[in-house]
A and B are shown apart, each in its own frame.
Chain A
Amino acid sequence: MSEMDMSYVRTEMLPEQEPPRSQTGAAKWLRENLFSGWINTILTILSLAFIALVLHEFLPWIFDSTWNANSLSECREIAPGACWAVIKERWPQLLYGFYPEELRWRVNLSFVLMLVAIAPVLFTGVPRKLLWFTAAFPVLGYWLLWGGSLWGPLMALAGFGVGAGVYAAIRPVNNLAALIAGPLAVVIWWLAAAGPVAGLLAGGVPLMLEPVPSSKFGGFSLSIIIGVTGIAFSLPLGILLALGRQSNLFIVKAICVGFIEFIRGVPLITLLFVASVLLNYFLPPGTSFDIILRVVIMVTLFASAYMAEVVRGGLAALPRGQYEAADALGLDYWKAQRLIIMPQALKISIPNIVSTFIGLFKDTTLVSIIGLLDPLGLSTAIRADTNWNGIVWELYGFIALMFFIFCYSMSRYSQYLERKLQTGHR
């Protein structure tokens, strides 16, 4: 029977058809992303119009510009667009402030050394031995920037070594005595011994650099000095405050909560007023110390209160079981914090820690209000100069761009760190 031979099922595959033109490539992408409905189409057209307008205004301004002129009016004669000459003339000031020109290599060198010192903290690929350099950098950086004798700051640093030595020496005899004698030795060293010893050593080997007073500091180097010091000290202080706030010791907790809430409740500018006009009132009559140091102290205290809240958020997010497991392993409070709690809590709070850092770095501009010459303070001075009177976009654009580069790279780094420390199974 012939019907038996007939097959109703196709035995070979048909060749695949091309997808419709509108479902592939650029056409599909355009349809889905730009013209997927009438609202979206309107939005797309509006945005394109906006971009066109911005480019139409800015491109001629940027390209029809001049770098060579001595004043704004001269600029306007040469080209109708941007007057970059102001940046060309003033960029050393915007970077270094009034730091003596022949000594600027010291600022550059300390900036490079700072990068070296930060590297082992930021990236795990860098040799760990460099951390010793990181610990020594504050002294070296201070010496390079402010000048004077190296022995002073070095002996101040040595105080910690003296304290550790005394503690280690007495500890076998009596734990309590060591706990008291260690810090006491540091204080005594700083108050009584550090100065004479430094003087004695300087008499032998005078490691002198020409001193530069704080009033000469300015520009982005000042912002970086305040920002980096504040960042370096606010994290440990913030962690301690967060632990204090979480602690079950009532008085410690009350002090920490009071401090954090007070600092978070007032604007930074009032604290800077304290630094500039009030701090000397709170010290014994006759003492007066450097304005940059005062500002750094206040900025650090300010940032540490915010940092404490960020770290507390991380601590709170940690499951209760982690604390109990640490207790079950028989770890004491500090060991548990160091080995189990903090690594996890800090990892959770990385994004917020970095945004606090970014906030701190941006807040360094506030020092212009109390008269320090950071880039913003300098911009006011430049605009008051008769040559550059009336310049706006170029100057502020340049400063904004510099801040943007710093802050944006910090936030990119935090994203990198988050990815690197990601241990979840997603």
Chain B
Amino acid sequence: MTAITDPPKETFRLSMLLYDTRYRSLTIQVIALICFMLVIAWLVDNAATNLAALGKPLSFGFLGEIAGYDINQRLIEYNSQMTHGRAALVGILNTLLVALLGCITATIIGVFAGVLRLSNNWIVARIMSVYVEGFRNVPVLLWIVAIFAVVSETLPAPRAFRGDDATAHMLINDSVALTNRGFYIPKPIFESGSMIVVLTFILSIVGIVFFRKWAKARQEATGEIMPVGWISLAIFFLPTLFMFYIMGRPIVLEYPELAGFNFKGGIHMRNSLIALWLALSLYTGAFIAETVRSGIQAVSKGQTEAAGALGLRGPRIMRLVVLPQAMRVIIPPMISQYLNLTKNSSLAIAVGYMDATGTLGGITLNQTGREMECVLLLMLFYLITSLAISAVMNWYNAAVKLKER
């Protein structure tokens, strides 16, 4: 006869915190937490003591003070009588401007270089390899500084454009001037009635989206294939052009013109912006080229052959079979390249482009002596930007993930 007895009651001993795997992880975590808190508390306490000793306790009041310095490249109204906060905002917008411009051109350059590197044309593939390896293996800061130096030292001064025996000439029908003070390009002026043209343009883009949906539904229902590309192109251009002429050409270009020893009118892109933009685009373009190349190579040859066996033709194989699969591989690293480009744009400070680092982490920091606050704000700004870009990436990854059962 057996009686079921309770298992012997295990009493808790202190050594079990270390030797019993049930409790050990808890012990380790508590110790880690305590150490972490102690270190943080020590750092914060030191910082508070040091700052108090210097007579500048943590405060963000300086953002409301008069900045007193000028920013020559700006997107919003700003002068030296405005506050440090406003200056920081100008800087942040400048960062976003160069990041946006850089991302667009880097993508174009990168996609071209990546596709051409896979070309079966031997010379083109070699040239692209040289470009990619050359730019990937040299620091981006060197490119920024070098391009800035080249633009400032080797391009003609505005006065060289002057007179009958001018040694320099404006490009593209006298509309663009490349000088050692920066590039002057035409500026669009929106007169009354231009709103209607812009509106038409937006509407025609919406129209294209709907047309494509409709064409796809029709193809699935009837099997007829429409020349979607050509019709989209027509919708893209024709209504807007039509409206443009109906309204009496409300959008005109203001060309830069030589006035005295300098150019007036048009948009003035300073050397610092040009150098930063060009260097970031070329550098990041080389990385994007590698991403694109590996993405296309990641689609196995069997996919192309299977599509061919189904009777599809070249461009359609690319568009319907290869690209959708390659995109899944290409886009995530491409977005992290955008992230890198945005962070690298902080190197603007080396050529004096007034981005967030140049204003908040540069002049404002030096003038007010508020190192702690400025660097904290700067980090916060970049952190928010990075997290926003990562959020987009995660959203995309979730959207294109292979739906497995």
On A, residues with C-beta under 8 Å from B are 32-34, 36, 40, 43-44, 47-48, 50-51, 176, 248-252, 255, 261-262, 264-270, 273-274, 277-278, 280-285, 358, 362-363, 365-366, 368-369, 376, 379-380, 383, 390, 392-393, 396, 399-400, 403-404, 407-408, 411
- Tell me, in angstroms, the Cα distance from A408 to B137 when the chains sit together: 6
What residues of chain B lie closer than 8 Å to A251, measured between beta carbons?
A: 29-30, 32-33, 36
Is the beta-carbon distance between B141 and A51 smaller than 8 angstroms? no
Contact of A277 among B154, B344, B375 (CB under 8 A): B375
Is B387 a contact partner of A265 (Cβ separation < 8 A)?
A: yes
> How near does chain B come to A178, taking the closest CB pair, in angstroms?
12
What are 30 A-B contacts with C-beta separation under 8 Å? A33-B120, A34-B123, A40-B121, A47-B124, A48-B123, A51-B123, A251-B32, A265-B383, A265-B387, A267-B343, A269-B361, A270-B346, A270-B379, A270-B382, A273-B361, A273-B365, A277-B371, A280-B50, A281-B46, A281-B50, A281-B371, A282-B47, A282-B50, A368-B141, A369-B347, A379-B145, A383-B149, A396-B142, A396-B146, A404-B137
Q: Which residues of B contact A400 (CB under 8 A)?
A: 138, 142, 146
**Apart from A266-B386, A281-B51, A363-B139, 13 more pairs, CB < 8 Å:** A176-B18, A265-B383, A267-B357, A269-B357, A282-B46, A362-B137, A366-B141, A368-B141, A369-B349, A390-B153, A392-B146, A392-B149, A407-B137
Question: What residues on A are CB-neighbors of B81 within 8 Å?
Answer: none
**Are A285 and B120 in contact, with the CB atoms below 8 A?**
no
Given A43-B124, A285-B50, A396-B146: A267 in contact with B346 (beta carbons within 8 A) = yes
**Residue B16 is within 8 A (CB to CB) of chain A in the complex:** no
Chain B nearest Cβ from A117, distance in angstroms: 24
Please measure, in the bound complex, the distance between the C-alpha atom of A278 and the C-alpha atom of B370, giving whole angstroms: 10
Contact B28 A44 (CB under 8 A): no
Which of A32, A268, A399 contacts B120, CB < 8 Å? A32
Distance, CA A400 to CA B147, complexed state (A):
12
Q: Could you tell me if B139 and A362 are in contact, using CB atoms closer than 8 angstroms? A: yes
Q: At the interface, yes or no: B245 with Cβ under 8 Å from chain A?
A: no
Q: For A40, what are the chain B residues with a Cβ–Cβ distance below 8 Å?
A: 119-121
Contact at A265–B382, with CB atoms within 8 Å?
A: yes
**B53 beta carbon closer than 8 Å to chain A:** yes
Q: A396 — which chain B residues lie within 8 A by C-beta?
A: 142, 145-146, 149
Tell me whether B32 and A249 are in contact (CB under 8 A): yes
What's the Cα separation between A368 and B344 when bound, in Å? 15
The docked-state distance in angstroms from the alpha carbon of A280 to that of B361 is 17
Residues of B237-279 contacting chain A, CB below 8 A = none
Contacting pair A392 B153 (CB below 8 A): yes
Bound form: Cα–Cα A96–B53 in Å: 39
A354 to B222, CA, bound (A): 54
Q: Is the interface of B mostly helix, strand, loop or mixed?
A: helix
Q: Assuming the A-B contacts A176-B18, A285-B49, are A33 and B357 also in contact, with contact meaning beta carbons closer than 8 angstroms in the complex?
A: no
In the complex, chain A residues whose CB is within 8 Å of the CB of B36: 251, 255
How far is B149's CA from A383's CA once the two chains are assembled, in angstroms? 10
Partner of B28, one of A249, A270, A379: A249
Beta-carbon nearest neighbor of A251 in chain B: B29
Q: How far is the CA of A390 from the CA of B133 in the complex (A)?
A: 28
A70 to B25, CA, bound (A): 69
Report the Cα distance A33→B120, complex, angstroms: 6
A277 cross-chain contacts in B, Cβ below 8 A: 365, 371, 375
CB distance from A225 to the nearest CB of B (A): 16
Which residue of chain A is the closest to B140 with respect to CB atoms?
A: A362
State in angstroms the CA–CA spacing of A390 and B365 once bound together: 31
Instruction: Give per-residue flags for B359-382: 1 if the beta carbon is below 8 A from chain A beta carbons, else 0.
Output: 001000100000110010011001
Residues of A within 8 A of B149 (CB): 383, 392, 396
Nearest Cβ distance between residue B313 and chain A, in whole angstroms?
15
The answer to whether B392 has its CB under 8 Å from any CB of chain A is no
Q: Which one of A33, A50, A261, A280 has the highest number of Cβ atoms from chain B below 10 Å of its Cβ?
A: A33
Residues of A within 8 Å of B344, CB to CB, are 267
The answer to whether B43 and A282 touch across the interface, beta carbons within 8 angstroms, is yes
Which residues 21-66 of B have a CB within 8 angstroms of A? 25, 28-30, 32-33, 36, 43, 46-47, 49-51, 53
Min CB distance B134 to A, Å, is: 7
**Distance in Å from the Cβ of B289 to the closest Cβ of chain A?**
14
B209 / chain A contacts, CB cutoff of 8 Å: none
Other-chain residue from B119, B139, B154, B378 in contact with A403 (beta carbon distance below 8 A) = B139
| Beta-carbon contact of A252 and B379 below 8 Å | no
B230 at the A/B interface (Cβ < 8 Å)? no
A255–B31 CA distance with the chains assembled, in angstroms: 13
B122 at the interface (CB under 8 A from A): yes
CA distance A284 to B45 in the complex (A): 9
Q: Is the CB of B121 within 8 A of A43?
A: yes
Residues of A within 8 A of B371 (CB): 273, 277-278, 281
B127 at the interface (CB under 8 A from A): yes
What B residues does A411 contact at CB under 8 A?
A: 137
Q: How far is the CB of B337 from chain A (nearest CB, A)?
A: 12
* B343: A residues at CB distance < 8 A: 266-268
A22 to B168, CA, bound (A): 49
In the complex, how many angstroms separate the beta carbon of B308 from the nearest chain A beta carbon?
18
Of B28, B139, B150, which is within 8 A of A365 by CB? Answer: B139
Given A266-B343, A277-B375, A408-B383 contact (CB < 8 Å): no
Please tell me if B104 contacts chain A, counting CB pairs below 8 Å: no
CB distance from B59 to the nearest CB of A (A): 15
Q: Chain B residues near A176 (CB, 8 Å)?
A: 18
